[in-house]
Amino acid sequence: MTSGAGNQIYVGCDCGSALPSSIRFTLAGSEATGDRIFLSFDGGDAETISVWDGEITSDCRACAGTFDHVLERLKEHSRIRVMFQNGDAASFTLKGSSGAIGECIADFWK
């Protein structure tokens, strides 16, 4: 999903392979720095989401819980606003995201 130059949401999900399942956000061409990002769905209150090396990983129990939560939110809502700790922010439409994401299992559960 993209929203303007250098803004992207990447959902990596390749069930049945050795590739890791993760969610990564890029704003203004840069990935998140720090240990958290803020996500607001459909104009609601911002949620604080933990990230590791700029992405939501899925290879530990807590990581998988966060991954599953954000993945479901991406699939069930129509808009998201992403903000990094440095103040960079962008809004994205989530139209068609449920079909594009499909079935995705966190690495911890594999």
Q: Which two tokens stand for residue 110?
A: 């594999």
Q: How far apart (Å, rounded) are the C-alpha atoms in residues 81 and 63?
A: 21
Whole-angstrom Cα distance, residue 38 to residue 81?
Answer: 8
- Give the pTM: 0.89
Phi, psi of 33 (to 5 degrees): -115, 160
Most confident of the following: 29-33, 65-69, 102-106 = 65-69
CB atoms near residue 101 (< 10 Å): 17
Mean pLDDT over the full length of the chain: 90
| pLDDT tens track for 8-61 | 999 988 666 667 899 999 998 999 999 999 999 999 999 999 999 899 999 999
The two structure tokens encoding residue 73: 């939110």
